[in-house]
Chains A and B, each alone.
Chain A
Amino acid sequence: GAGVSQTPSNKVTEKGKYVELRCDPISGHTALYWYRQSLGQGPEFLIYFQGTGAADDSGLPNDRFFAVRPEGSVSTLKIQRTERGDSAVYLCASSLNGVGGYTFGSGTRLTVV
């Protein structure tokens, strides 16, 4: 596509539920990144894919968070047993080959109630 697409744009879920956030990167971009941004903070790195594999998942806060990119294009960020502290904007970005600046999607605003 023309840009990075993220769905849903907003998600409200109850504490303890499971959620999936989807990212469709720019066509041909091999590198895909997930970040999380809380109010008043900069984006915080979660995980980075180069192709289908997770090249760096050091930013995932705990084992409730998991992400996949099975065909090297669309990625899904999965959060199990959501907690109120997971509420944030989840941003996805892609870049052509992992070098240089990224293009971000408009994010998914997750609210856990």
Chain B
Amino acid sequence: RKEVEQDPGPFNVPEGATVAFNCTYSNSASQSFFWYRQDCRKEPKLLMSVYSSGNEDGRFTAQLNRASQYISLLIRDSKLSDSATYLCVVNINGGGNTPLVFGKGTRLSVIA
């Protein structure tokens, strides 16, 4: 099983739609979870951290299910500018200072 798995997409959705991405991780001891956004030919940028209680930032909601080792990202009222690749990121070995492991990313295209 890969350490961090995501559906690569692409997800093609109309403006205004709600879209959800899922991600699974292999190590139940993992402690830190993030979603990054990467635009074409640009570096990844931190979108949001994912907390056990779930967290929301505007149109974006992140959820963590530790029992199922599963993370999700929900985007409501999609905008054209949301088109990007969304990377699921996990501190896979659980220690505070261990490197983050990135999924392959899920491509989203929001169309007018």
Interface, chain A (partner B; CB < 8 A)? 31, 33, 35, 40-45, 48, 50, 55-56, 59, 91, 97-107
> What 1/0 flags go to B85-112 for Cβ under 8 Å of A?
0010100000011111111110000000
Q: Is the CB of A41 within 8 A of B104?
A: yes
A31-B97, A101-B89, A107-B43 are known; give 13 further A-B pairs, CB within 8 A.
Answer: A33-B100, A40-B8, A42-B102, A45-B99, A50-B97, A55-B97, A56-B99, A91-B43, A98-B97, A99-B96, A101-B100, A103-B46, A104-B44
Q: Mind listing 18 A-B residue pairs with CB under 8 Å?
A: A33-B99, A42-B87, A42-B102, A48-B99, A55-B97, A56-B99, A59-B99, A91-B44, A99-B97, A100-B49, A101-B36, A101-B89, A101-B100, A102-B46, A103-B46, A104-B44, A104-B45, A107-B43
**B-side interface size class:** 20 to 34
* B42 in the interface (beta carbon within 8 A): yes
Of the candidates B4, B44, B96, B101, the one having the most CB atoms from chain A within 10 angstroms of its own CB is: B44
Inter-chain contacts of B103 with A (CB < 8 A): 42
Of the candidates B87, B96, B100, B102, the one having the most CB atoms from chain A within 10 angstroms of its own CB is: B100
Chain A's nearest CB lies how many Å from the CB of B99?
Answer: 5
Q: 8 closest pairs, A vs B, by CB?
A: A42-B102, A98-B97, A104-B43, A101-B46, A42-B104, A43-B102, A45-B99, A48-B99
A33–B4 CA distance with the chains assembled, in angstroms: 19
Inter-chain contacts of A43 with B (CB < 8 A): 44, 87, 102
Of the candidates A91, A104, A106, the one having the most CB atoms from chain B within 10 angstroms of its own CB is: A104
* B55 in the interface (beta carbon within 8 A): no
Q: Is the CB of B99 within 8 A of A101?
A: no
Asked whether A98 and B43 contact (CB < 8 A) given A42-B87, A42-B102, the answer is no
Q: Is the CB of A42 within 8 A of B105?
A: yes
Q: Which residue in chain B gives the minimum CB-CB distance to A6? A: B43
Q: Which residue in chain B gives the minimum CB-CB distance to A35? A: B102
Inter-chain contacts of B98 with A (CB < 8 A): 56
